[in-house]
Amino acid sequence: MKIVGIYTLLLLYSQLSLSDSFEHVSFKHDIVQAALERTQHSVRYDGRYLSIPYPNGDVPVDIGVCTDVVIRTYRAIGTDLQKLVHEDMAANFNKYPSNRIWGMNSTDKNIDHRRVPNLQVFFSRHGETLAVSNLGSDYKAGDIVTWMLPGNLPHIGVITNNVSSISNNPLVVHNIGAGPKLDDMLFSYKITGHYRYVPLKYRDTSL
């Protein structure tokens, strides 16, 4: 393992409480690295509806929106949000806002997982819904945050363990229009959700 990788693991471990498991250390390291890797890609902001394969379907690699950053980050660590969201929506459609917001009466594997409100419901149902606060220290590496942008546009991003030297807030990987970027924007917009979703393979099921 490279020295940088060891340092990152030690940094993440130092931020954990005694109740955190090694599995969660591994998850935080993996998801942060996957999110940061997204910033190396040139992606044109394009959210038009497209038919994609299922499972593990994706729009063309050179396009995407904010949700695609999260989807591709999780896919890089072996978790297919397209499949997971579709299965949960198929079994619990009334729990999701697809009918209320978009007038849909059934699931759509092409778009459901690419909509912020659907991801909010999925993360709240299958992960942890955490407190929204004005303290940067409350937002940990690997957490998912959602915002409402001007014009009532929902937005989503991934918290990293990188910290701004100016605000001392954790930096966020997101795509707000210029492709995946690492930005100091945690408190730039109204936060509408704070979640932690650890895939099953990282969980210590013996506890």
123-143 pLDDT, tens digit per residue, is 999 999 999 999 999 999 999
* CA distance readout (Å), 54 to 82, 102, 110, 119: 8, 22, 8, 17
- Residue 40: the pLDDT is 98
Q: Which residue has the tokens 């004005």?
A: 134
Q: Name the average pLDDT for the chain.
A: 91
**Contact of 183 with 130, CB cutoff 8 Å:** no
CATH pick for 3-202 out of 3.90.1720.10, 3.40.50.150, 3.40.50.261, 3.30.930.10: 3.90.1720.10
User: What would the pLDDT profile of 9-59 be if each residue is shown by its tens digit?
Assistant: 555 555 544 335 555 789 999 999 999 999 999 999 999 999 999 999 999
Which residue type is seen at 28?
Answer: K
Whether pLDDT at 3 is above 80: no
Spatial distance between the Cα atoms of 190 and 89, rounded to a whole number of angstroms: 27
The domain segmentation of the chain, as residue ranges, is 3-202
Would you state the pLDDT for residue 174? 98
Query: CB–CB of 113/68 below 8 Å?
Result: no
Q: Name the one residue in this structure whose structure tokens are 């190396």.
A: 40
Considering the chain, what percentage of its residues have pLDDT values greater than 90? Answer: 86
* Span 169-191, average pLDDT: 98
Split at pLDDT 50, 70, 90, the class of 109 is: very high
Q: What is the pLDDT of residue 24?
A: 74
Query: Quick one: how far is CA 99 from the chain centroid?
Result: 23
Residue 4 pLDDT > 70, yes or no? no
Q: Are 90 and 55 in contact (CB under 8 A)?
A: no
Per-residue pLDDT, 73: 98
pLDDT at 178 over 70: yes
* Lowest-confidence pick of 16-30, 81-95, 96-110: 16-30
Q: Are 121 and 136 in contact (CB under 8 A)?
A: no
